[in-house]
């Protein structure tokens, strides 16, 4: 599989394997087959979060690493912290919240390393912007984690450009990743660039994509196949979803590939170097998804898909 170079100069597969649903697989053999398929397809990047399966997904992955110690050398392992569910630690009265306090970040990383059974996490992301974020406090945690060697590099998830800038100003380490939702059905980040000064759309352009490109921050796309909604939408699905789906299947036939590969190739075609993070738990679908690496969509294919998904052409 072709690779991207992250800002820290690590080479990573253009497609990453997300581990949020790993816990849905019942046996260790099923989980092993999934990750083995990913490795065989050339995927060297594995995405976790401390909350996936309430920690179980990391525990299950740690168990796989124990059974297959040679895998670690071929993997970049990323996890996230900062989301706390209602009732977490302080009893039922605590609401769902984000927590970038020094104590929470440090405690989360201890848990992540223990569950994954590794000494160092390659990349730690802050999962969703904490509205009470104190950049200097985050910097203190990152310094401690960097200094002790527990985390090699840092990034964010679901941040916009200004939030990144605010945090980066306090940090000694470069933020190297921003993981956000992007797919044909959630393409505002990409499509907004065509609406500058047209009066179309109400949201002002966030410019986040270009901002990350300017800063050398890799955009990772979560839910890159829109959670599976485009494969066989029901008859009462919105028109744009049904029409996009039929074009995806048409292009899959024309490119002698499958629908997943077309959806992912649409993301890979963007010059920002977007890294889709797969969510499938099915080894065959994962293998088919990896075919996207060999699919080159033309400009016309790419804009046709955007047009169908948005339900209108560019201005």
Which token pair is 178?
Answer: 């921003």
Question: Please, what is the minimum distance in Å from the beta carbon of residue 29 to ligand NAP?
Answer: 17
Q: Which is nearer to ligand NAP, 152 or 276 (CB)?
A: 276
**Which residue's Cβ lies closest to ligand NAP?**
279
Question: Please, what is the minimum distance in Å from the beta carbon of residue 209 to ligand NAP?
Answer: 16
Binding site for ligand NAP (CB under 6 A): 18-21, 47, 157-158, 179, 222-228, 231, 260, 277-282, 285
Q: Which is nearer to ligand NAP, 25 or 138 (CB)?
A: 25
Q: Which is nearer to ligand NAP, 8 or 158 (CB)?
A: 158
Question: Please, what is the minimum distance in Å from the beta carbon of residue 315 to ligand NAP?
Answer: 28
Q: Which is nearer to ligand NAP, 1 or 144 (CB)?
A: 1
Question: Please, what is the minimum distance in Å from the beta carbon of residue 284 to ligand NAP?
Answer: 9
Give catalytic residue positions.
52
């Amino acid at each position: 599989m072709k690779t991207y170079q992250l800002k820290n100069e690590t080479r990573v597969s253009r497609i990453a394997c997300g581990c949020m649903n790993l816990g849905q697989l019942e046996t260790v053999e099923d989980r092993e087959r999934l990750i083995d398929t990913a490795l065989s397809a050339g995927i060297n990047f594995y995405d976790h979060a401390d909350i996936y399966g309430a920690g179980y997904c990391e525990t299950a992955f740690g168990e796989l690493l124990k059974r297959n110690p040679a895998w670690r050398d071929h993997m970049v392992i990323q996890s996230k912290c900062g989301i706390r569910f209602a009732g977490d630690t302080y009893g039922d009265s605590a609401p769902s919240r984000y927590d970038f306090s020094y104590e929470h970040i440090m405690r989360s990383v201890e848990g992540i390393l223990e569950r994954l059974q590794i000494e160092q996490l390659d990349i730690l992301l802050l999962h969703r912007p904490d509205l009470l974020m104190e950049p200097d406090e985050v910097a203190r945690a990152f310094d401690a984690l960097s200094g002790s060697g527990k985390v090699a590099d840092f990034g964010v998830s679901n941040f916009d450009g200004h939030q990144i800038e605010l945090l980066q100003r306090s940090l000694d380490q470069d933020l190297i990743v921003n993981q956000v939702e992007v797919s044909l059905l959630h393409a505002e980040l990409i499509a907004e660039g065509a609406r500058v000064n047209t009066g179309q759309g109400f949201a002002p352009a966030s410019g986040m994509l270009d901002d990350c490109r300017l800063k050398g921050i890799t955009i990772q796309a979560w839910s890159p196949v829109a959670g599976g909604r485009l494969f066989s939408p029901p008859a009462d699905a919105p028109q744009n979803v049904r029409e996009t789906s039929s074009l995806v299947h048409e292009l899959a036939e024309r490119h002698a590939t499958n629908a997943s590969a077309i959806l992912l190739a649409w993301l890979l075609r963007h010059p920002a170097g977007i890294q889709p993070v797969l969510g499938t738990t099915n080894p065959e679908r994962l293998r088919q998804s990896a075919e996207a690496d060999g699919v080159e969509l033309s400009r016309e294919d790419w804009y046709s898909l955007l047009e169908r998904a948005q339900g209108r052409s560019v201005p």
